[in-house]
Structure 1
């Protein structure tokens, strides 16, 4: 059975600020809903394993399908309470790795060597590397066998500077996605703020914002077929 490794954050706040953040729940739940509809298995991992905090703002954006998942004890136990540590993951078991967002990922995704090794192995095995919104942080420091950035010359997208301004987080985040992508030779693409937008370039499938989750999932499903 095809499986996807869903990666989530362990970060509870914006750096040292007394302001809660965490996983944007829909960016996991909406993706998982689409995988379940298509018989695709999912496992969950996080940089430290175990508990995954939720961005409180994300709870206002759940639809009926994702609220049903949130009520599911199996989803809560595996996706939010007992996520796998990277050391418990066998890359060859997965057809893809999918990095969820929520601002917390900007602190614990970019420099996690264990997750990078997993993602690079999946990519080298012809698997897909996917992200949505701030999850693009997990793609920034991936390398090929020659040491080049994997995103070099690739079209990818993620949460924009305009969207950070609208979210009132421009001065809080440690970096801007577009600048980081361009510094690594990637081709950053974007559309209107808070509109669904996903782009595929080979084995990369990325979405711009929280409203792009199902678009990412559907591009992956189409790629498999």
Structure 2
């Protein structure tokens, strides 16, 4: 059975703000849950390895779902987030899927991480699936395909929209906007209403728009894997 790799951030704070950031917990939970229910094995990786910080905004009562609370209280799951694998030590041949989870932290460490890019390149050229949700799409920007072209050039995809960033009140506190960067790489960016679950598949690239979309990404991928079987 396919093995799944979830990439998470190592960044815990906005560089120029006294504000914590990190992984948006639900984006890992709702994706992982679909795979656990279907018997898949999951590993977690981050640029630096070890502990991935959790964005405290993602732990607020008005944000957390019953499923989020279940995993937040699951010691085994939380220990995996506390002991992620280091990107430089990953063997890409072990994985058929890589998924970039979001949270604002990834803006500062996913884009230029060559180890994550190489993992994704190998997964994709091995006929595996590259995927992301929300700000996690930043991890897709510099991945190359087998012909040394940017993987997302000409591909239909989605990620955290400019309008959602503005609604979140953080558009002036990030170095760039996710939607803009995806378009700058030649991607065919699409979106639905703000904060609605939305996922897009283009060949073996699967992306979700926002924190509500992790499950939708997982469902699409599982359908693809089942067809391969």
Give the TM-score normalised by the residue count of structure 1: 0.97
Q: Which residue of 1 aligns with 2:49?
A: 49
Q: Output aligned runs, 1:1-225, within 5 Å.
A: 1-60=1-60, 61-79=63-81, 81-225=82-226
User: 1:224 deviation in Å?
Assistant: 1.0
User: 1:65 deviation in Å?
Assistant: 2.2
Partners of 1:107 and 1:96 lie apart in 2 by 23
* Cα offsets for 1:61-95 (capped at 9, x unmatched): 2222221111111111112x110001221111111
Unaligned residue ranges in structure 2 (runs of 5+): none
Whether the 8 Å contact between 2:162 and 2:180 is mirrored in structure 1 is no
Partners of 2:225 and 2:145 lie apart in 1 by 23
C-alpha RMSD of matched pairs (Å):
1.0
User: 1:216 deviation in Å?
Assistant: 0.5
* Cα offsets for 1:189-218 (capped at 9, x unmatched): 111111111000011000000011110010
Higher mean displacement: 137-146 or 127-136: 137-146
Unaligned residue ranges in structure 1 (runs of 5+): none
Whether the 8 Å contact between 1:33 and 1:66 is mirrored in structure 2 is no
User: 1:146 deviation in Å?
Assistant: 2.8
**Structure 1 SS opposite 2:85:** coil
Partners of 1:108 and 1:37 lie apart in 2 by 30
Partners of 1:83 and 1:180 lie apart in 2 by 27
User: 1:147 deviation in Å?
Assistant: 2.2
Partners of 2:37 and 2:147 lie apart in 1 by 38
